A and B are shown apart, each in its own frame.
Chain A
Amino acid sequence: MENNNAKIREFMGQFISNVDFADDEDIFASGLVNSLFAMQLVLFLEKDYGITVENEDLDYDNFRTLNAIVDFIERKTKAAA
């Protein structure tokens, strides 16, 4: 969990490089990322965690904060195990 947090923060840090953001900050609502980030995040999660982000996963509650993304990965990897 802690490792996932650091790894995802590092990925997100590429896009949000000039401000600090909290683990529970809504990065979409605060306008910290643009629309291209959304697809790059999907590709990152799929490549680095071996999961497939599917139709039914498209819920901003899965992606809006760093904590939400970590939880989403945990759920997806458990479901795949």
Chain B
Amino acid sequence: MDFELTSEQKAAHQEFRMFVDQEIMPYSDQFDEAQAMPAEVVEKMAKAGYLAAVVPKAHGGLEMDATTFGLLCHEIGRGSASLLSLLTVHGMVCQAILKWGSAEHKTHWLPKLATGEAIGAFGLTEPNIGSDARNIETRVAPTEDGNYRLTGHKQWISFAQVANLFLIIAQCEDKPTAFLVERKTEGFSTEPMSGLLGFRSAMLAKIHMDECLIPASNMIGRIGFGFTHVAGTALDHGRYCIAWGCVGMGQGCLDSSLHYSGTREQFGKFLKDHQLIQQMTADMLTQIKAARLLCLHAGTLKDKGDPSLIMETSIAKYFASNMVQKVAEQAVQIHGANGCSTAYPVQRYYRDAKIMEIIEGSNQMQQMIIAKYGYQNFMTASRQTAN
């Protein structure tokens, strides 16, 4: 497998890196402290075209290949994990509409999502339901005129404070079903969430839906396909974003550690010349490279539409989020007390890294499906050998 970037991908990566260095990195800790993402940052993302990354050109998007989009997630993740979550959830809504929406959904919503006129958010998790997503408690009931009334609560929804288009998964005839719900819908409200360990500027909110009238035409996919297919498509995209974002965060940890250990002296020599610092640096660098290769592999499979992309993306997300949790811990250790202060970004990476092991399918859920995948591959190979 050749994972060499094309000249176009290298140029795009350079553009993303400059955007993040100029527009995000200098302010990320301020956003974190304020527990808010300024509207002008979202506008800058839209103006740069990044909200249109996965939208086809026919609908006003950039139609990035999977690797280029991964590089964007890498850089945005390096700048701010909270801002990465905008790219993630917005893209999840775009992907769900793109794959399972009607022609009308695509024509109406994709151009708006591409420009940022519409900001998307993904409503699956609830106060009582996390990993056990099939058993969500939010419900729709049919109305006499063939539409639906939606009632329930969602929680931990990234960018729900500012989004105006929500992909909500609800039980319809006791089967998970997906609906597009606009913020302006009567009975729909959001309640900001604050004081979180990480993702502090990801504008998280609870969503309350009280007898919201939803047109039947807002259903995405069909009754009973909301979790397996619609959320499945969205979550695969989410895991891909998160995996790449973790690599970017890891790179941010490494960059800060290399700078710090190359400028701070203890015992008469730079930290970088102490062997135990070198051990941590070598482990960080190696782990980041390994995670990046898994992401590149997943991206290659995505561009081919290979069925194994689902599991290889899960593996990339699992490894990369584990990686960044360890790398961020080592980065804080290298920075010592300074690493615990807002003078350096590593404390933010450290807090955000923990979130990466929980979102878009906790790592325990990933472990269960990855182990099963291993068994499936083993049995298939054994059968082929026997034949």
* Interface residue ranges, A against B (CB under 8 Å): 11, 13-15, 17-18, 34-36, 38-44, 46-47, 55-56, 58-60
In the bound complex, CA of A38 to CA of B377 (Å): 17
Contact call A14/B376, Cβ cutoff below 8 A:
yes
Contact call B224/A60, Cβ cutoff below 8 A:
yes
Contact call B376/A55, Cβ cutoff below 8 A:
no
Contact call A39/B305, Cβ cutoff below 8 A:
no
Contact call B379/A17, Cβ cutoff below 8 A:
yes
Interface of A is mostly: helix
Query: Does any Cβ of A come within 8 Å of B259's Cβ?
Result: no
In the bound complex, CA of A47 to CA of B308 (Å): 11
Q: Which chain B positions have C-beta within 8 A of A39?
A: 228-229, 232-233, 236, 310
Q: List 24 A-B contacts (CB under 8 A).
A: A13-B380, A14-B379, A15-B376, A17-B379, A17-B383, A36-B311, A38-B228, A39-B228, A39-B233, A39-B236, A39-B310, A40-B310, A40-B311, A43-B306, A43-B307, A43-B309, A43-B310, A46-B305, A47-B305, A47-B307, A55-B101, A55-B222, A56-B222, A59-B222
Contact call A58/B379, Cβ cutoff below 8 A:
no
Q: Which of A18, A35, A47, A55 is in CB contact (< 8 Å) with B228?
A: A35
Contact call B227/A35, Cβ cutoff below 8 A:
yes
Q: Which chain A positions have C-beta within 8 A of B228?
A: 35, 38-39
Closest B residue to A38 by CB, please name it: B228
Contacting A at CB under 8 A, from B266-299, are none
Q: Which of A11, A13, A14, A38 is in CB contact (< 8 Å) with B232?
A: A38
Query: Does any Cβ of A come within 8 Å of B102's Cβ?
Result: yes
Query: Does any Cβ of A come within 8 Å of B184's Cβ?
Result: no
Known: A42-B229, A43-B305. A36 touches B310 (CB 8 A): yes
Please classify how large the interface on chain B is, using the bins under 10, 10 to 19, 20 to 34, 35 or more: 20 to 34
Nearest Cβ in chain A — how far from B26, in angstroms? 40
Query: Does any Cβ of A come within 8 Å of B225's Cβ?
Result: yes
Closest A residue to B384 by CB, please name it: A10
Known: A36-B232, A38-B232. A17 touches B376 (CB 8 A): yes
Q: Which chain A positions have C-beta within 8 A of B369?
A: 34, 36
Interface of B is mostly: helix
Nearest Cβ in chain A — how far from B226, in angstroms? 10
Query: Does any Cβ of A come within 8 Å of B56's Cβ?
Result: no
Contact call A47/B221, Cβ cutoff below 8 A:
no
In the bound complex, CA of A13 to CA of B383 (Å): 10
Q: Which chain B positions have C-beta within 8 A of A46?
A: 305
Q: Which of A15, A35, A41, A58 is in CB contact (< 8 Å) with B221?
A: A58
Known: A36-B369, A39-B229, A55-B100. A47 touches B306 (CB 8 A): yes
Contact call A40/B100, Cβ cutoff below 8 A:
no
9 smallest A-B Cβ distances: which pairs? A17-B379, A38-B228, A43-B307, A58-B222, A39-B232, A40-B307, A44-B307, A58-B225, A35-B228
Q: Which chain A positions have C-beta within 8 A of B134?
A: 35
Q: Which chain A positions have C-beta within 8 A of B229?
A: 38-39, 42, 58
A39-B228, A39-B233, A39-B310 known, 5 other contacts, Cβ within 8 Å: A11-B307, A15-B376, A36-B369, A39-B229, A60-B224
Nearest Cβ in chain B — how far from A68, in angstroms? 15
Q: Which chain A positions have C-beta within 8 A of B236?
A: 39
Q: Which chain B positions have C-beta within 8 A of A47?
A: 304-307
